[in-house]
Copies of this chain bind each other. A is one copy, B any other.
Amino acid sequence: MLENLNRIEVVNPVDLIISQIRDLISSGSVKPGEKLPPERKLAEHFGVSRNQVREAINKLQFYGIVKVQPQSGTTVTGIGIVALEGLITDILKIEDSDLKSLVDTRILLEKEAARLAALNRTNDDLVQLTNALKEYKNKLSASDHAVEEDLMFHIKIAEASNNKVLKSLMMIITPDIVKKFIQYKVCNVANNNQTLEEHQNILDMISNQDAAGAVRAMEVHLSDIKKFSNNKN
């Protein structure tokens, strides 16, 4: 019965304003490098309050579409078509993605991170990794729930890879992975002692600067997760 009722579309007004401004850019009215009309004009033109326009511009700034300069104006950065193809809503909305995409992509990044870490790690990186592993062990013996420490170890690997972009991307998807894992209660599946051993293996390979070995160790480590995600979706 109820499912036949149309879902009420409660559209956020700022999202509407965002797409309006987007149209302004994609139609060519305002080209990259040029200034957006002032907030007051936009507010008047759209028939909304200035605060709504401000919030919309704020979001656009987050996405890197525009850059606001106090007491001067808001300029459109030269990112062009890419962000305008109705894609804005896609960026950073990974939470709707299916678990498989998330895990597959994570594995891709993690393997590369392990490889680069084996090649580029400094001695300080090894210390950091060892510490992270130790903290993970401690947390495990205390509370048998150490998702954050687990992921922290992986983040440290990304750091050791000396590729900031890789690290940033991993950090972008990591929270979503945690969310999904908690949602599906993956933790119960994992054997914590085995995880610990696998972490140690990865660390050894990185320590020995064995790139291929590190990739392999990481692959083994993530195989369980991959299996799980394949079953789900």
Contact = CB atoms under 8 A, between A and B. Distances in A.
Interface of A: 55, 58, 62, 64, 77-83, 85, 87, 90-94, 96-98, 101-102, 104-105, 108-109, 112, 147-149, 151-152, 155, 162-169, 171-176, 178-179, 182
A105 to B, nearest CB: 4
A148 B152 CA distance: 37
Contact of A101 (B81, B102, B147, B163): B163
Q: Within the oligomer, what is the number of copies of this chain?
A: 2
A168 B93 contact: yes
Contacts of A149: 81
13 contacts: A79-B178, A79-B179, A80-B178, A82-B152, A82-B174, A82-B175, A83-B175, A87-B171, A91-B172, A92-B172, A104-B166, A108-B112, A172-B172
Contacts of A97: 164-165, 168
B82 A164 contact: no
A56 to B, nearest CB: 12
A148 B93 contact: no
A149 B164 CA distance: 27
Nearest to A182: B78
Nearest to A91: B171
A79 to B, nearest CB: 4
B166 A105 contact: yes
